[in-house]
């Protein structure tokens, strides 16, 4: 069951499988990931993974995906990229050996 709630930047908060998502786009990506797990492409995925930054700041990554080919993908589902997001992404990618993919 999907339910829509109001959110800033005109995204519609959505509830799917009892989970609240920040946008319809994020909930659709979640459903796509579930299908990819069924198909065997993705072994498992985690949601809202905390990444610690300097100054006691925590960034929450939308999805961390573990693929059958042995790779890990750090994914953020974005409809609108704020300046704050761009700055945090840059800091995280400089601190850690990861690249955040934007969907």
Q: Using a pLDDT cut of 90, give the percent of the chain over it.
A: 78
Residue keyed to tokens 């800033």:
8
pLDDT, tens only, 60-98: 999 999 999 999 999 999 988 889 999 999 999 999 999
Instruction: Give me the pLDDT at residue 87, please.
Output: 94
∠ Cα 74 19 22 (to 5°)? 60
> pTM value?
0.85
The arrangement of secondary structure in 3-102, i.e. its CATH architecture, is: 3-Layer(aba) Sandwich (3.40)
**Which pairs from 85-94 meet CB under 8 Å and 24+ separation?**
88/53, 88/57, 88/59, 91/53, 91/54, 92/51, 92/53, 92/59
Q: Where are the domains of the chain?
A: 3-102
């Amino acid at each position: 069951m999907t339910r829509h709630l109001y959110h800033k930047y005109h995204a519609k908060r959505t509830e799917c499988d009892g989970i609240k998502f920040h946008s319809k786009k994020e909930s659709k990506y979640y459903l796509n990931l579930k299908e990819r797990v069924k198909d065997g492409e993705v072994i498992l995925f985690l949601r809202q993974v905390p990444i610690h930054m300097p100054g006691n700041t925590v960034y929450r990554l939308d999805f961390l995906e573990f693929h059958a080919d042995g790779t890990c993908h750090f994914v953020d589902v974005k409809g609108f990229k704020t300046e704050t997001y761009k700055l945090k992404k840059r800091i995280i990618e400089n601190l850690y050996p990861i690249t955040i993919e934007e969907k």
